[in-house]
Amino acid sequence: MKTAIVFGGCGTFGSIVARDLARLGVPIVIAGRDGARNERFAAELGAPHRAIACDVKLLASCRDALKSCGGSNAVAVNCAGPFSHLGSALLDACLEVGCSYCDINDDRSYFKLARGMNTAFVERRLSAVCGCASLPAISGALALKMLGTGAKPERARATLFIGNKNPKGFAAINSAVESLNRPIVAPQGIVYGFRDGEAIPVPKPFGPRKAYNFESPEYDLFPELLGVKSVSVKAGFEMRLANAAFNALAHLPSGIFGARFAALMFWLGKCSPPIGCSGGAIVTELFWSDGRVCVGAVSTPEHGQRMAVLPCVFAAFDLCSKTELKTGVSTAYEFLGSGSLLKRIEAEGFTVS
């Protein structure tokens, strides 16, 4: 069993990934800039887990962290964010040291960066599994489940629905803020972040909800994966007031919302009333030219954030425990298999429909 170095392991999502991997028997190293905080969390996990200080944006820091944790006998699990600000330091360090890699990224530009390093990972006989989160891992697995044979669908739509009681990490808030009214290049043309609200068939107990444009790797993945000519990615919140507020802000000039505004939204999120649920859903819809529609979903009334990062847990566990692995840069549904990924999520108590 290799060691999993969880970068950003004290964060909202990183802590979930670390706890699940520790439960599965994987030795964990918590890595992040705050060494004291890392030590406290590692002590909470108990032996044999430990912590180190590391800045994921710096190549030398990442290289030293990987070497100190066993080099090629370690796996880098990237839960640090926002991914749009990270650069390639950790990916480069993995190639230098000989470590496999996985992440919870849903940022389109970072995903492109990682996919562009496929040849380098193949040549080093290393595995990199990118986008191991709701988008694009679960959305893609659902799409493949529904694809079938025969005529290809004309368009696809993937939606992330977020329950209000889920803790709001700064990286997620910053990503949402940066997307406001930002141009998104889709196969069908330009759309704008958090505009164009559409009613989405979110499963019970939520019911149909409105969601808005969100930038994610599906815009690049789905045309080749499914043969579609049009792709929409949407995101929506359980609180209708939050949806309305973000949609209103998305009609202001793009680029005026910086880190300070994201920090304000992060603070407001932490102060929001504890109403709603901690659940969520990922919904993928395929539309055919003859009017046929297929809808697939993974949903839960609680623990939505754990559901969102289970693809990363499964990928990291396989990277740490197995020897015969697909090399190069893969999506989670390519690396794990779409059917296997959905079955493993269902086995954890979440609803696949």
From CA 161, how far away is CA 304, in angstroms rounded?
9
Within a 13 Å sphere around the CA of 7, how many CA atoms are in the beta-carbon half?
31
Question: What is the pLDDT, as a whole number, of residue 252?
Answer: 83
CB-based contacts of 86, cutoff 8 Å, min separation 6? 56, 57, 78, 80, 110
From CA 103, how far away is CA 83, in angstroms rounded?
10
Question: What is the pLDDT, as a whole number, of residue 173?
Answer: 73
Average of per-residue pLDDT across 240-257: 81
The DSSP bridge partners found for residue 282 are: 160, 298
Instruction: Evaluate if residue 270 carries a pLDDT over 80.
Output: no
From CA 49, how far away is CA 42, in angstroms rounded?
6
C-beta of residue 130 within 8 angstroms of C-beta of residue 115? yes
Instruction: Evaluate if residue 259 carries a pLDDT over 80.
Output: no
The DSSP bridge partners found for residue 328 are: 127
Pair of tokens at residue 68? 């100190």
Question: What is the pLDDT, as a whole number, of residue 268?
Answer: 66
Instruction: Evaluate if residue 82 carries a pLDDT over 90.
Output: no
Look up tokens 């988008």; give the residue.
135
Question: What is the pLDDT, as a whole number, of residue 165?
Answer: 82
Question: What is the pLDDT, as a whole number, of residue 31?
Answer: 98
CB-based contacts of 90, cutoff 8 Å, min separation 6? 7, 56, 62, 76, 78, 101
Question: What is the pLDDT, as a whole number, of residue 257?
Answer: 67
From CA 155, how far away is CA 135, in angstroms rounded?
17
Average of per-residue pLDDT across 312-318: 98
Q: Is the dihedral of CA 134, 217, 323, 81 positive or negative?
A: negative
C-beta of residue 161 within 8 angstroms of C-beta of residue 308? no
From CA 338, how far away is CA 325, in angstroms rounded?
16
User: What are the extents of the domains in the chain?
Assistant: 3-133+309-352, 135-304
Pair of tokens at residue 179? 């997307």
Instruction: Evaluate if residue 236 carries a pLDDT over 90.
Output: yes
Nearest-5° Cα angle at 219, 185 to 343: 160
Q: How confident is the model at residue 151 (pLDDT cuts 50, 70, 90)?
A: confident
pLDDT in tens, 136-148: 999 999 999 999 8
pLDDT in tens, 11-49: 999 999 999 999 999 999 999 999 999 999 999 999 999
pTM: 0.94
Pair of tokens at residue 103? 């992440």
Question: What is the pLDDT, as a whole number, of residue 242?
Answer: 80
Instruction: Evaluate if residue 273 carries a pLDDT over 80.
Output: no
Pick the CATH number of 135-304 from 3.40.50.2300, 3.30.70.260, 3.30.360.10, 3.30.530.20: 3.30.360.10
pLDDT in tens, 165-211: 877 666 667 777 778 889 999 999 999 999 999 999 999 888 999 99
Among candidate residues 121, 120, 93, 88, the one with its CA nearest the CA of residue 105: 88
Pick the CATH number of 3-133+309-352 from 3.30.460.10, 3.40.50.720, 3.30.2010.10, 3.30.365.10: 3.40.50.720
Average of per-residue pLDDT across 58-68: 97
Tell me the three-class secondary structure of the chain, residue by residue.
Answer: CCEEEEECCCCHHHHHHHHHHHHCCCCEEEEECCHHHHHHHHHHHCCCCEEEECCCCCHHHHHHHHHHCCHHHEEEEECCCCHHHCCCHHHHHHHHHCCEEEECCCCHHHHHHHHCCHHHHHHCCCEEEECCCHHHHHHHHHHHHHHCCCCCCCEEEEEEEECCCCCCCHHHHHHHHHCCCCEEEECCEEEECCCCCEEECCCCCCCCEEEEECCCCHHHHHHHHHCCCEEEEEEEECCHHHHHHHHHHCCCCCCCCCHHHHHHHHHHHHHCCCCCCCCEEEEEEEECCCCCEEEEEEEECCCHHHHHHHHHHHHHHHHHHCCCCCCEEEEHHHHHCHHHHHHHHHHCCCEEC
Instruction: Evaluate if residue 149 carries a pLDDT over 80.
Output: no
